[in-house]
């Protein structure tokens, strides 16, 4: 066997080992992706089956109630009704994120809890607790501003409804529709102030913190750059 033949044989063997290694890596990667895909879905369905029953006859069976949390400075407790949504990630397969479809409000002394929204056909995009700072340094949630958007695709899917409600979710006000984003929600000088964007305009609404009644509305003029 000549020297060139021996070199060719070694190169061929090395290439064969490299190809085998690449095949093993590809198989392992596919196995991991399949495990994540089906394992996650199975775990999600399993969690929904073993958790508190929240799905009615017309509700999705994969809705899951999150852990209950206290509303700061009050006796009210809330839990989010969540559903997983597939999210495509370029170059790394597909992943999942949680979508909040409703809020369960629990009040001590009340036998039954109640849902904040009348259905599960909306996604809670933004939720901001508006707090009041007491002299002791403690904070108390006065109200919550929330932006909800419909799940069904439409021309207005980039906008939604702006809601304002008290900590227990008993007083709910629909501030505006076709809102794109909540900019600021705060408590100042005994008033609730919500600044949001609607129809490419900034709008400032002021509310009474006790009744959640709108006191005034102001369109913010933005000077045109020259």
pLDDT score at 90: 46
Residue 20 lies in a domain: no
Give a yes or no: residue 27 inside a domain: no
How high is the pLDDT of residue 137? Answer: 80
Give the model's pLDDT for residue 12: 63
Per the structure, the count of domains in the chain is 1
How far is the C-alpha of 203 from the C-alpha of 25, rounded, in Å? 55
Task: Tell me how far apart the alpha carbons of residues 61 and 214 are, in angstroms, rounded to a whole number.
Answer: 38
Q: Residue 27: what pLDDT?
A: 76
Write out the chain's pLDDT in tens, 226 residues. Answer: 565 666 556 656 677 667 777 778 777 767 666 555 544 444 444 454 556 767 665 555 678 898 899 999 999 999 999 987 655 444 555 556 788 999 999 999 889 999 999 988 889 999 999 999 887 788 999 999 999 998 876 655 789 999 999 999 999 999 999 999 999 999 999 999 999 999 999 999 999 999 999 999 999 999 989 8
Report if residue 213 sits inside a domain: yes
- R_g over Cα of the chain: 27
Cβ burial, residue 25 (10 Å; 0-12/13-18/19+):
exposed
Domain assignment present for residue 36? The answer is: no
Query: What distance, in Å, lies between the first and last C-alpha atoms of the chain?
Result: 83
Query: Is there a domain that residue 68 lies in?
Result: yes
Q: Is residue 44 part of a domain?
A: no
Domain membership of residue 39 (yes or no) is no
Q: Per the domain annotation, does 226 fall within a domain?
A: no
Residues of the domain holding 213 = 51-220
- The whole-angstrom separation of Cα 176 and Cα 182 is 11
């Amino acid at each position: 066997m000549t020297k060139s033949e021996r070199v060719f044989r070694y190169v061929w063997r090395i290439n064969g080992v490299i190809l085998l290694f690449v095949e093993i890596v590809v198989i392992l990667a596919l196995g991991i992706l399949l495990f994540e895909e089906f394992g996650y879905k199975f775990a999600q369905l399993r969690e929904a089956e073993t958790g508190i029953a929240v799905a009615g006859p017309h509700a999705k069976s994969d809705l899951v109630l999150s852990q209950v949390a206290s509303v700061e400075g009050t006796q009210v407790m809330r839990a989010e009704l969540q559903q997983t949504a597939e999210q495509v990630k370029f170059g790394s397969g597909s992943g999942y994120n949680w979508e909040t479809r409703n809020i369960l409000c629990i009040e001590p002394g009340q036998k039954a809890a109640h849902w904040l929204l009348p259905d599960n056909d909306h996604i809670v995009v933004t939720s901001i607790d508006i707090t009041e700072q007491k002299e002791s340094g403690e904070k108390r949630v006065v109200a919550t501003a929330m932006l909800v958007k419909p799940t069904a695709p439409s021309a207005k899917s980039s906008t939604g409804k702006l809601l304002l409600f008290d900590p227990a979710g008993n007083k709910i006000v629909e501030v505006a529709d076709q809102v794109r984003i909540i900019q600021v929600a705060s408590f100042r000088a005994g008033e609730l102030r919500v600044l949001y964007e609607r129809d490419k305009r900034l709008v400032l609404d002021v509310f009474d913190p006790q009744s959640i009644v709108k006191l005034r509305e102001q369109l913010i003029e933005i000077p045109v750059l020259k």
